[in-house]
A = this chain, B = another copy of it.
Amino acid sequence: MSKRYFEDLELGETLEMGTYTVSKAEIMDFAEQYDPQPFHVDSEAAAQSSFGKLIASGLHTMAITQRLSVDGLYNDAHGLGSPGLGETEFRKPVYPGDELTVTLEPVRKRPESRPNAGLVELESRTRN
């Protein structure tokens, strides 16, 4: 498949990015390095929390979402990087063993000030 350009992404289409199963070991590894709150790194403390057991850092879920999106789209496109992220909601906890499925939907496109560049705003959903 030839790499995709700005023009090739259609507003409203749903792009399937595949699935990723997150293990307890990976949840703890990520959290020990980047988000060592008790409910992410300590099973006993997590059992006492409102979540009932260990949950993945929200940033870890975002990182997994990014990985699937890179493999599924960004590395097959002529991407120039991202200027940021819109609002992110953590609607449900992610527990060890959960299988995450990511979809992307182009929701807005506009030309950029740089020549031959455009901005595509993607709505990303990560389902459990």
Residues of A within 8 A of B (CB): 33-39, 49-51, 55, 57-59, 62-64, 66-67, 70-71, 74-75, 79-90
Contacts and interface: CB of A to CB of B under 8 A. Distances in A.
Contacts of A57: 66
Secondary structure call for the A interface:
mixed
B37 A67 contact: no
Q: How many copies does the complex hold?
A: 2
Contacts of A33: 63, 67
Nearest to A26: B33
Contacts of A70: 35-37
Contacts of A79: 37
A24 to B, nearest CB: 17
